[in-house]
Amino acid sequence: MHEIGRRERSLPAPTHVVWRSLADPHQPGARLWLRLLEDEVEPRVLTAQEPELLVWSSLWPRRPDDVLTFELRPAGTGTALRWTLTTPAEPPDTSLIGHLRHRVNHLLWSDLRLSYGQ
């Protein structure tokens, strides 16, 4: 398994709220945050261990074997969230790695964060 991206930052919402947002991005009453691009697909939850771990299938049909793992832990009143993007295949070129990392960072640290009002 090759790691092609990883980052950890905090979110203002409690761990159980962030976990639920990742487990069900379209839950009733929640603000829309998972806005996919044309070359992306809705991820499937592959593994769920509430409230500390969630694993998504790939967002990118051209890279179907990639996996996005989320590790969550309390951080004050919020959540420390670490994502790791892995692939069993050969890692893509540097340009595509940059795009994949950017998209995950944008979805989490911009769109998801904004859904919590920040």
- pLDDT for res 33: 95
Residue 49 burial (CB count, 10 A): 11
Report residue 118's pLDDT band, with 50, 70 and 90 as the boundaries. Answer: low
- pLDDT for res 30: 84
Residues 70-107 pLDDT 10s: 999 999 999 999 999 999 998 999 999 999 999 999 99
Residues 6-46 pLDDT 10s: 999 999 999 999 999 999 999 988 889 999 999 999 999 99
By CB neighbour count within 10 A (0-12 exposed, 13-18 middle, 19+ buried), where does 19 fall?
A: buried
Which domains, from first to last, does the chain contain? 2-115 (3.30.530.20)
- pTM (2 decimals)? 0.95
Starting at the edge strand found earlier in the chain, the sheet holding 53-57 runs: 2-11, 78-87, 67-75, 53-57, 45-49
